[in-house]
Amino acid sequence: MTLQKIKSLNGKDEYVLLPVSIYRVLRKEIEGELAGLKAGEDDYEPFAVEDYVDNPVALARIKARATQEELARRMKVSQAYISKIEGQANVTPKVLMKVKTALESGNPQGPRRRRKN
């Protein structure tokens, strides 16, 4: 079957004329899909950042909704250092604890350090 096309002024296809029988079938399919979406059905998997980010520092920072710059400021280190540790395959527990402490503190200056006397 050849469908008739209606072109725009610049020559591009704009519309297609369909037989009414085909239109009715397509309309029922589209309405069924829309009804499924409205009912809460979906074919999507929920996004879990853990599935895409392996580095625990990057994961903790992303979950805290902090940028590398913010984390660096809280830890009193450079953004380049944060980038470096986020690029490492293994992070020491000591570094990870410092990162988590800085993120949990909410203090833009980072956790206060005790002075050694």
Model confidence pLDDT, tens digit, residues 15-59: 999 999 999 999 999 998 888 777 666 666 778 899 899 999 999
Give how many domains the chain has, as a whole number: 2
Q: Where are the alpha helices (DSSP H) in the chain?
A: 20-38, 56-63, 68-75, 79-86, 93-105
* Share above pLDDT 90 across residues of the chain, in percent, rounded to a whole number: 65
Same domain, 80 and 32: no
Q: What is the domain range of residue 53?
A: 49-105
Bridge partners (DSSP) listed for residue 16: 5
The pTM of the full predicted model, rounded to 2 decimals, is 0.54
- 55 and 33 within one domain: no
Give 19's Cβ-side CA count (13 Å radius): 5
Strand 4-7 with 13-17, pairing: antiparallel
111, part of any domain:
no
3-state SS assignment for residue 59: helix
Q: 56 is written with which tokens?
A: 């625990």
56 occurs within a structural domain = yes
Rounded distance between C-alpha atoms, residue 78 and residue 69, angstroms:
8
